[in-house]
Chains A and B, each alone.
Chain A
Amino acid sequence: MQLPSIPLAHLDDLWFQVSGTVCNLACTHCFISCSPHNHSFGFLDFETVRTALEESVALGVKEYYFTGGEPFLHPRMTEILELTLRYGPATVLTNGTVFKDQWLQRLRVAADASNYSLEFRVSMDGYTPEANDALRGHGTFERILRGVGQLLHHGFLPILTVTPANDEDDPQLFERFVRLLRENGYERPRIKILPTLRIGAEAKRGRGYDEHERVTVEMMEGYDQARLVCNHSRVVTDRGIYVCPILLEAPDARLGDTLKEALAPFALAHQACHTCYQYGALCANASSRHRDA
């Protein structure tokens, strides 16, 4: 079957798989099965980050994103963000459970000194302890709220990032999280709702993709390719450059050793691409919207 091939229109977003697949949590719906014991991808060297940042300037990168695993397990994460804010805006995707106040104090200083925004996206996947902890682990609801509180205390405005694997059809979901955050002292809540990616651990927990859930050449006619992550992003990992943060476990997602080698088009061979196609903006800070919504 012929696959749609998506060119990189421009490298707007450069991602760093900064803590590899290592996480202090083992969420049952994680699309790359991160855990304390998953070392498929390791921590990025500080120098690897610095080199990629330097390389990104000539490529005109607009924004930088940091993910894992849990980025703040990286022993030099604060330093990495301080460095990045000299190049451009930085967003870090965190579970919010391991912050130390001294890190946030330093980041507060770095954010104030930079022209660019430092965004924190904190994952929480249910608006009650029961719903969240069933996915993210016992006690995490309270720990995440504490992390949000730490960020607020240091003057940040975290974006709560929600993958409601058990509540996807709840039409009041957004408002429920707004209420939760307000009740916990967050006066201007920011929320990003994400669709469930049915790969990795989630494929074992819930349902995987149905056979028909694939992107075809015909489906791309009249479709805005800019909605697809691979149209404007690449990911730096300790094992090379990958096409997007979602497909790390797919061998064909590795595109090269350097950014320059990884600028080629990508064929949408994967079923997770179907979710990206449907919702768009999966990895950006704005919420995703179903195409027909």
Chain B
Amino acid sequence: MPPADTATLDYRRIAVFGGVYSNYLALAAALEDARRRGAEECFCLGDMGAFGPHPDRVFGLLRDCGVRCIQGNYDNSIARGLDDCQCGYTDPRDNYFARLSYQYTFAHTHPDNRAWLGTLPTELRLLLGKYRLLLCHGSPRQMNEFLWESTSSSAFLDYLMRAYDTDVILATHTGIKWRRDLEGGKHFINVGVLGRPENDGRTNVWYALLTLARSASEGLEVEFIPVAYDHEQLAAQMRAERLPDEFVATVLTGWWTTCLEVLPYKERCRGRF
């Protein structure tokens, strides 16, 4: 039996977005794309602000489109007025850029939106067909835990499924999408992020589309959807807001230039820096 607070969805297709990082242009493009693909409801796994320009522009879109949101570590920090984003960087260069980004985002987030971030739940549990879904930001046990593909053993993911009594865990936080199908028809899905490209030299961003198959078994189909958006406009706005050139370069090239220290070996190797 699912936990008592589990909501049943009468849906066959949902879209799940990761960190928005103030990239309201990518969010608008993803919402339009998900609607066109027949997603019946959209979810966002948190980190609405960071990195991009004009953080307040994200909130209207999320509310107007009825996106169901949970809280990420950035949201938690902004809502509580903490000193940093709780990503735990120790490299002085990464800390420098993380601090710039956080201070800009905090200063440009309206107090009403800060308060709204504070009201968001830290997880959602849903029933999609026969699948019990757990939506969280980093991991079910810790909002700011990085679950990378190359440093999460299948034994550990199996443990999370058992410990949290679920069939599908959806998370974000790392900035790079991945999925693993586990024994017993269970799935771990990192949905990626809308906020910045995923360090692969491409400018698009990604979200996840979950569909109940129409076959008798009603299996779960998981697709990662690339989203192209007007990244040059975003870059121009970032420059106008005097956000760091290093952030702009990531938007324009698809390569990460900052906050690289948290990347494990395999993920780091795939990038340019």
> 1/0 per residue B145-174: CB within 8 Å of A?
000111111111011101100000000000
B:178-199 near A, CB below 8 Å: none
Residues in chain A near residue B149, CB distance under 8 A: 115
- Interface SS of A by simple majority: loop
CB distance from A14 to the nearest CB of B (A): 10
Do A117 and B151 form a contact, CB below 8 Å, given A156-B265, A188-B260, A188-B273? Answer: yes
Closest B residue by C-beta to A9: B141
Which of B91, B141, B159 lies in contact with A191, CB distance below 8 A? B91
Task: Give the nearest-CB partner of B88 in chain A.
Answer: A286
- How far is the CB of B237 from the nearest CB of chain A, in Å? 29
Do the beta carbons of B90 and A63 come within 8 Å of each other?
Answer: no
Q: Which single member of A60, A119, A157, A226 contacts B159 (CB below 8 Å)?
A: A60
Residues of A within 8 A of B60 (CB): none
Give complex CA distance A239, B88 in Å. Answer: 35
Fill in one digit per residue for A244-288: 1 if any B CB lies within 8 Å of its CB, else 0: 000000000000000000000000000000000000000001111
Q: Which residues of B have CB within 8 Å of A42?
A: none
Is B151 within 8 A of A61, CB to CB? no
Instruction: State whether A190 and B264 are in contact (beta carbons under 8 Å apart), knowing that A60-B159, A116-B150 are contacts in the complex.
Output: no
Which residues of chain A are within 8 angstroms of B163 by Cβ–Cβ distance? Answer: 10, 60
B156 interface neighbour in A62, A115, A188, A190, Cβ under 8 Å: A62
A63, B151: Cβ atoms under 8 Å?
yes
Instruction: Report the Cα distance A12→B112, complex, angstroms.
Output: 39
Which A residues between 57 and 100 are near B, CB-CB below 8 angstroms? Answer: 57-63, 87-89
Q: Whole-angstrom distance between the alpha carbons of A106 and B175 in the complex? A: 31
26 residue pairs from A and B, CB less than 8 Å apart: A10-B141, A57-B155, A60-B156, A60-B158, A60-B160, A60-B163, A61-B156, A62-B153, A62-B156, A63-B151, A87-B153, A88-B153, A88-B154, A88-B156, A89-B150, A89-B152, A89-B264, A115-B150, A116-B151, A157-B269, A174-B91, A175-B92, A188-B260, A286-B90, A286-B262, A289-B90
CA distance A157 to B150 in the complex (A): 14
Known contacts A191-B91, A288-B90; A12/B266 CB under 8 A: no
Contact code string A115-150 (vs B, CB < 8 Å = 1, else 0)? 111110000000000000000000000000000000
Which chain A residues border B162 with CB–CB below 8 Å? 60
The majority secondary structure among interface residues of chain B is helix
Closest CB in chain B relative to A167 CB, distance in Å: 16
B153 near A286: Cβ-Cβ < 8 Å: no
The answer to whether residues A174 and B92 also contact, given A188-B268, A226-B142 and a CB cut-off of 8 A, is yes
Tell whether A89 pairs with B153 under 8 Å between CB atoms, given A60-B158, A157-B265, A188-B260.
yes
B232 contacts partner chain A, Cβ-Cβ < 8 Å: no
In the complex, what's the smallest C-beta–C-beta distance from A224 to chain B, in angstroms? 10
Q: How far is the CB of A210 from chain B (nearest CB, A)?
A: 26
Q: What count of chain A residues pass the 8 Å CB interface test?
A: 34
A243 interface residue (CB < 8 Å to B)? no
Q: Is B241 an interface residue (CB 8 A)?
A: no
* Interface flag for B261 (CB, 8 Å): yes
**Further 7 A-B residue pairs, CB within 8 A, beyond A117-B150, A118-B265, A289-B88:** A56-B155, A61-B156, A62-B151, A62-B152, A88-B154, A193-B90, A286-B261
CA distance A116 to B151 in the complex (A): 6
CA distance A118 to B265 in the complex (A): 7
In the complex the two chains form, is B153's CB within 8 Å of A287's CB? no
Q: Which residues of B contact A174 (CB under 8 A)?
A: 91-92
Interface positions of A from 1 to 38, Cβ below 8 Å from B: 10, 12
A-B complex: 3 closest residue pairs judged by Cβ atoms: A60-B159, A88-B153, A287-B90
Contact across chains for B155 and A61 when beta carbons are under 8 A apart: yes
Chain B residues, CB < 8 A from A226: 142
CB contacts (< 8 Å) of A60 on chain B: these are: 155-156, 158-160, 162-163
Residues from chain A with Cβ under 8 Å of B156 in the complex: 12, 60-62, 88
Alpha-carbon gap, A127 to B43, bound state (A): 49
For residue A190, give the distance in angstroms from its CB to the closest CB of chain B.
7
- What A residues does B262 contact at CB under 8 A? 286
Question: Which residues of B lie under 8 Å from residue A111 when comparing CB positions?
Answer: 265-266
- Give Cα A87 to B150, complex, Å: 11
Listed residue (A63, A116, A188, A289) with the most chain B CB atoms within 10 angstroms of its CB: A116
Produce 1/0 per residue, B81-120, CB < 8 A to A: 0000000101110000000000000000000000000000
A196: min CB distance to chain B, Å: 17
User: Once bound together, how far apart are the Cα atoms of A88 and B251, in whole Å?
Assistant: 33
- CB contact between A63 and one of B91, B153, B268 (< 8 Å): that residue: B153
B152, B154, B264, B273, most chain A CB atoms within 10 A: B264
B264 close to A10 (CB less than 8 A): no
Q: Mark B235-273, 1 if CB is under 8 A from A, else 0.
A: 000000000000000000000000011101111110001
Among B158, B262, B265, the one with the most A-chain Cβ atoms within 10 Å of its Cβ is B265
Cα–Cα, bound, A10→B139 (Å): 14
Which chain B positions have C-beta within 8 A of A62? Answer: 151-153, 155-156
A63–B95 CA distance with the chains assembled, in angstroms: 26
| A97 to B215 alpha-carbon distance, docked (Å) | 58
Measured in the bound complex, the distance between the Cα atoms of B266 and A88 in whole Å is 13
